[in-house]
Amino acid sequence: MSNIIVSPSILSADFANLERDIKRVEKAGADWLHIDVMDGHFVPNITIGVPVTASIKKVANIPLDVHLMIENPQKYIEPFAKAGADILTFHYEAVLPDEVTQLTEYIKTFGIKAGMSIKPKTPVEEVLKYLPNLDMLLIMTVEPGFGGQKFMSDCAEKIKPAREIAPDLIIQVDGGINAETGKICKNFGANSLVAGNYIYNSEDINRAIALLKA
Ligand code: DX5
Ligand code: ZN
């Protein structure tokens, strides 16, 4: 069995047929379901919020991997945890450095995994000291905000120093991931791949997920 966690981003699903599109990736072997929460402030786009996440929880049979691209993530941890998030990831750039550890511990009080994400311009060296407390580091390989963007290969290089100091950490990448770019990230030490466009626009979803897991 592969130890790569594949998390399809439902940002590329048909929102009018969300349950159908969740079942499609579940049947094709998805491990987690990636939910992109955007507030129109931290990123220019607005997407999914708490009520939709709670509705997804009722139909999904795999863990909900919730990626918060929002300002003031502290305010929304409890609502998203109660809506059914199993992994809750906030952005390092949305909080003050001295709030990181407290926020991480707060997420864990809900009995769920705590993740932190960095945008392309944030050096990974800045966050290495937080890794021992985190369950997951999410390295963005595009500017957050939209699906379907081009993979930034220099961002993938950030995986290596993180993996060196944190052998057991879940290191996830998100943005422009397909079979080829996913391989680059796995070679650097990533063990979780998010993919929206590549999975949902593929003619053979089973094969697309299998290639990411390989
Ligand atoms: C971008 C989101 C991603 C996005 C990925 O801000 O965080 O999760 O849906 O989409 P693709 O895989 O199409 O780049
Ligand atoms: Zn995402």
First to last CA, the chain: 9
Count other C-beta atoms under 10 Å from residue 44's C-beta: 12
Residue from 69, 153, 197, 209 to probe ligand 1 pocket by mutation (most atoms less than 8 Å from CB) = 197
Q: Is 191 in the pocket of ligand 1 (CB under 6 A)?
A: no
123 Cα distance to chain centroid:
18
Compute φ and ψ for 40, nearest 5 degrees.
Answer: 75, 0
Percent of the chain with pLDDT over 90: 99
Ligand 1 atom nearest to CA at 145: 6
Residue from 6, 7, 11, 70 to probe ligand 1 pocket by mutation (most atoms less than 8 Å from CB) = 11
pLDDT-based confidence at 197, cuts 50/70/90?
very high
Domains of the chain (ranges, CATH numbers): 5-213 (3.20.20.70)
Ligand nearest to the CA of 43: 1
Q: Is 11 in the pocket of ligand 1 (CB under 6 A)?
A: yes
Residues contacting residue 31 through CB under 8 Å, at least 6 positions apart: 5, 6, 7, 62, 63
Longest Cα–Cα distance in the chain: 46
Helix (H) or strand (E) holding 192: strand 192-195
pLDDT-based confidence at 5, cuts 50/70/90?
very high
Atom 7 in ligand 1: residue holding the nearest Cα? 144
Q: Is 115 in the pocket of ligand 1 (CB under 6 A)?
A: no
Q: Look up the pTM and report it.
A: 0.98
Q: Is 65 in the pocket of ligand 1 (CB under 6 A)?
A: no
Residues contacting residue 114 through CB under 8 Å, at least 6 positions apart: 87, 88, 89, 103, 104, 105, 107, 108, 133, 134, 135, 136
Q: Is 119 in the pocket of ligand 1 (CB under 6 A)?
A: no
Atom 9 in ligand 1: residue holding the nearest Cα? 147
Which residues have a catalytic role annotated? 36, 174
Look at residue 2 in the predicted model and tell me its pLDDT: 83
Amino acid at position 140, single letter: M
Amino acid at position 186, single letter: K
Interior/surface letters 81-104, b for 16+ CB within 10 angstroms, e for the rest: bebbbbbbbbbbebbeeeebeebb
> pLDDT digits over 148-179, tens only?
999 999 999 999 999 999 999 999 999 999 99
Mean pLDDT of the residues in the chain:
98
- Cα–Cα distance measured from residue 123 to residue 76, given in angstroms and rounded to the nearest whole number: 26
In this prediction, residues 31-55 reach a mean pLDDT of: 98
Look at residue 1 in the predicted model and tell me its pLDDT: 64
